[in-house]
Amino acid sequence: MTYCVGILVRDGLVMVADTRTNAGVDNIATFRKLHHFQGPDRFISLAASGNLSITQSVLTLIVDGLEDPASGRSETIYNQSSLFKVAQLIGRAVREVWRVDGPGLEEQGAFFDVQMMLGGQVGNGPMRLFQIYSAGNFIEVAQETIFFQIGEHKYGKPILDRAMNFDTDPLDALKIALISMDSTMRSNLSVGMPLDILFLRRGSIVPDIKYRIDPGEPYFHDLRERWSAALRAAHMAIPKPPYRVN
């Protein structure tokens, strides 16, 4: 399984992804799920969950190029003129993988499972964040709905629902995403360290933060301890229920 969060606030883009993959509980490995694409006019991040064979094939197609049937041009993540067009290209790549591998997967009873989040900055276009589905279609965040999650999303959703809005400082949003990741890792063994994180300031193509948090890293360790202690203090500070029988 996988857990990735993407958040777009007024001042920038935050993405966090774990790295654990598993085929059953006894076949566990570490794979990067948050991928970055840098060019002279762009910084793009793509988080992927679902069947690893599908997401790896999609990545290869968007880097090596998919031919545009009209122009014959090879379309890649580096030569699209906007992030919207990158989202469309990834959608085409997902459908191409479906065309090749989908029927075979279904015959084996495996279902065609891929979800992606795409964020970044291309040229002078707006900074955007998309979620791409296994049909290749996609949606975008809005000021009222500033985050997407893919993979094992439920454990970490309550803190995201409560704690953020469009005006939240991006470093606070990153902190909240790390808390959400911590909650998920504590409750579900299939999500695990290390974590890959990104903070790209709005309008920039040079990330302020692009970091891998390894097990035992001091800040994240401290965040987990502080959060647990704060939750204990928070519920202890609430009075006991006064109920009797009604």
- Binding flag, residue 243, a second copy (CB under 8 A): yes
Torsions phi, psi of 25, nearest 5? -85, -10
Residues 162, 231 contacting (CB under 8 angstroms): no
**Amino acid in position 187:** S
- Region 205-234 residues binding a second copy, contact defined as CB under 8 A: 207-213, 219, 223, 226-228, 230-234
Instruction: Choose which of 5, 48, 127, 178 interacts with a second copy (CB under 8 A).
Output: 178
Question: Which positions ≥6 away from 47 have C-beta within 8 Å?
Answer: 4, 6, 15, 17, 33, 34, 35, 116, 117, 150
Instruction: Choose which of 123, 126, 158, 203 interacts with a second copy (CB under 8 A).
Output: 158
Binding mask 111-150 for a second copy (x = CB under 8 A): ----------------------------------------
Torsions phi, psi of 92, nearest 5? -65, -40
Instruction: Choose which of 10, 32, 154, 221 interacts with a second copy (CB under 8 A).
Output: 154
Instruction: Choose which of 43, 98, 148, 155 interacts with a second copy (CB under 8 A).
Output: 155
- Binding flag, residue 32, a second copy (CB under 8 A): no
Q: DSSP E strands: which ranges in 123-215?
A: 128-132, 138-140, 147-151, 195-201, 209-213
- Binding flag, residue 176, a second copy (CB under 8 A): yes
**Amino acid in position 131:** Q
- Binding flag, residue 73, a second copy (CB under 8 A): no
Instruction: Choose which of 171, 190, 202, 204 interacts with a second copy (CB under 8 A).
Output: 171
CB of residue 185 to a second copy, shortest distance in Å: 10
Torsions phi, psi of 14, nearest 5? -125, 135
CB of residue 194 to a second copy, shortest distance in Å: 11
- Binding flag, residue 163, a second copy (CB under 8 A): yes
- Binding flag, residue 7, a second copy (CB under 8 A): no
Instruction: Choose which of 95, 175, 201, 202 interacts with a second copy (CB under 8 A).
Output: 175
Rounded CA separation 61/136 (Å): 14
Q: Which two tokens stand for residue 90?
A: 């990834």
Rounded CA separation 220/225 (Å): 9
